[in-house]
Every structure is written in structure tokens, then in C-alpha cells.
Amino acid sequence: MKLSDFDFALPKHLIAVRPAQPRSSARLLVAQGDMILDARVTDLVEWIQPGDRLVLNDTRVIPARLSGLRHRLSDQGPVAAKIEATLLEPQADGAVWSALVKPLKKLKPGEQVVFSDDLTATLEGVAQGQAFLRFNLTGEDFDAALNAAGAMPLPPYIAAKRAADAQDLTDYQTVWAKNSGAVAAPTASLHFDGALLEALSARGVTFTNVTLHVGAGTFLPVKVDDIADHKMHAEWGQVSAQAAREINATKAAGGRVIPVGTTALRLIETAAREGAITAWEGDTDIFITPGFRFNVADALMTNFHLPRSTLMMLVSALMGAETIRTIYSHAIDQNYRFFSYGDASLLIPPRKSD
């Protein structure tokens, strides 16, 4: 298939730069078969049935965007240069992180960047456009200093319109975030609050946590015309043995397994490539396109995605490309808000037994 098969025109005013308040008041497009209904996220209690299981990504977004100064002595005396860094992922020893640094040309190996009174980093090297920064702290000390100095790494389409602020520290984090490591949020999960979780639980819906640390590569554009030539970025994930047992038990009992977000879906399908889901841990670069066989997911809650993106390909694989075009046309006509801070959809394809 061609990249142009997943393109559409999106009016810029539909790109959300702030989330709905409260979270669960966001709009929800429900698509089941040929039916499209307009609802609210709070209406999930009507669509998620007793015995269904929601799969939640419990990754925690780190405030990965840092601003600091590089100091250097010159013939004219001390000079400083402003350095921006976006952390990507830690290396084996935990002290070194790969990062995107701007402007990278103003930082030489061995030079130090001061991000705060507590947090500094030294450039160890550069490879394939990424910098490798060795920080002065590790573990809980690093986490505390990063939380104090860093800002949330908002997606490019939001960052182009406004800077991250203190409100994003809450808005761009799920209420169940647990395991630190993501530099982008599992955004469909941002619609949930405590009251909605309690209402779903009271209805007889169960929950399973998995972990996929969403990387900055999730925002990388697809640059090839033939999507078969695209190389996916890899992200670390884990499905515990308990999570696999819970999901298998729901399937055996006839309940639906519904991942909240494409990250949770990609992870559970990675762990079920042979059929039934099993415990799994590692880096996944699974690329889901039309023709993919879903072994676990029976439906998907997700936001509205970028045109020409791998996530448009994923939802097209789940619902069918023509159906997704109809859904997105309806969403645009009805002024749904798009992307990370936007509204949500509940996509329910025909069950395999139907």
C-alpha cells in the first residue's frame, strides 16, 4: 500500500493544545460496523460490557525536556551558550542518556551543560545525530533533579504552538502512571480519571496493566512511498505472566480484551505473535498495517491520529481503510479535537465469530 492511502486534510483549528477538563468530559466517537455515534468518554460505561477487560499502559512520562547552559572560556573571556536537550532513553549504566541536543554544534565532547544547581551532564559522544549525555546523578537523585528541572516533552504539533508549562506535568500523565521511562504519553489513557475507573469497575469491567515506554520515534514521519519499506522505531515493553494470565482468562470466558491506546495494543499483539498471549519483555518494532491478524485485541480506544502516520495504518488494519476514512471524515465534519490532547474514539470491529 502507498503512504498516500493514509492521508487526509485536517483543519489546523482541530489540533488540540489543551485537554478537556475534566479529563473524562472529552468527546468519544463510537464506531461499530457501519454505525458511528457521537458520545462522551463518560459513556464508556455503556459500551464496555461486564466481563470485558481494559488493557492499560502504566508507563510514566518523564519531564525529558531540559534547558541549560554550556560555559566556555574564550579569548574574550567567559562565554555561555544555551543548550536544549530532549532525553530519549537511558543506556546500560543508567548515568548516560541518548538525547536530541540543540544546537549540537555548540557542544563538544567533554564539555558540561548545567541544567540546574543539582543537575549537570557531560557530552560523551555523538552517533547518528543523537548525543550521549553522562549525568552527575543516577537513581532517585536523578529522578528528583529531573522532575525539578525538566519540562514535559510535548509533541511537536503542540510545542510549535506553545511552550510546556506546569499544567502539563499533570495533564500529560495518566492517573495510573507507574513505571518511569516514556518520553511521550499513551494519550488515549489521558481521558480516564478516578471516577470513570470506579464506574467501569462497578459495571464489572476488569483492568490489566502492561508497560510500553513510548519513545520520541512515535512522532517520526513516514518517509517512504511504499509503506512496506518503512522501518519502525523500537520501544521497550513488558507483559508480565500475571497480565498474560488475566488476558487469556478473559478471552476464555468470552469477554472482550480492549487495549486503551495504540501502545497497549502494539505490546499485547507483540506478545501474542504465536497466537495466545504469553509473558514477554524486550524491544518491539511491530508494524501493524492492513492485512495484520489480531490475536488479542477485540476493540481499541484511541485518539485521532496524524495523517500519513503508522498509527493511521494501525487503525486501518483494525477497522478497514475505507471505514477509517469514513470515521475520520465524520470526526472532521463534527469538529472533534485531534491528536494527543484531543478527543477519543472507540473502534469496535466485527468479532471473529461474527
Q: Please enumerate, as own/partner, the contacts of 198-205 that have beta carbons within 8 Å and a separation of 24 or more.
A: 199/42, 199/45, 200/44, 200/45, 200/48, 200/54, 203/45, 203/48, 203/49, 203/50, 204/49, 204/50, 204/51, 205/48, 205/49, 205/50, 205/51, 205/52, 205/53, 205/54
Determine the pLDDT at residue 92.
79
What percent of the chain is predicted at pLDDT more than 90?
Answer: 88
Determine the pLDDT at residue 354.
41
Once rounded to an integer, what is the mean pLDDT over residues 236-252? 98
pLDDT tens profile 252-297: 999 999 999 999 999 999 999 989 999 999 999 999 999 999 999 9
Determine the pLDDT at residue 177.
97
Determine the pLDDT at residue 152.
94
The single residue listed with the C-alpha cell 532525553 is 87
pLDDT band at 221 (very low <50, low <70, confident <90, very high): confident
pLDDT band at 353 (very low <50, low <70, confident <90, very high): low
pLDDT tens profile 85-129: 999 988 878 899 999 999 999 999 999 999 999 999 999 999 988
pLDDT band at 216 (very low <50, low <70, confident <90, very high): confident
Contact between residue 315 and residue 305 where contact means Cβ atoms under 8 Å apart: yes
pLDDT tens profile 31-66: 998 899 999 999 999 999 999 999 999 999 999 999
Q: Domains along the chain?
A: 3-61+169-348 (3.40.1780.10), 65-149 (2.40.10.240)
Centre a 10 Å sphere on the Cβ of residue 115 and count the other Cβ atoms it contains: 22
Determine the pLDDT at residue 53.
98
Nearest by Cα to 212 from 187, 248, 193? 187
Determine the pLDDT at residue 32.
96
What sign does the dihedral 295-299-301-302 (CA atoms) show?
A: positive
Of the chain, the end-to-end C-alpha distance in Å amounts to 27
pLDDT tens profile 144-200: 999 999 999 999 899 999 999 999 999 999 999 999 999 999 999 999 999 999 999
Count of all residues that appear for the chain in the document: 354
Lowest mean pLDDT among 168-182, 218-232, 310-324: 218-232
Q: What is the mean pLDDT of the chain?
A: 95
Beta bridge partners of 86: 65, 100
d(CA 260, CA 274): 22
pLDDT band at 313 (very low <50, low <70, confident <90, very high): very high
Contact between residue 324 and residue 290 where contact means Cβ atoms under 8 Å apart: no
Once rounded to an integer, what is the mean pLDDT over residues 221-246? 94
Determine the pLDDT at residue 99.
94
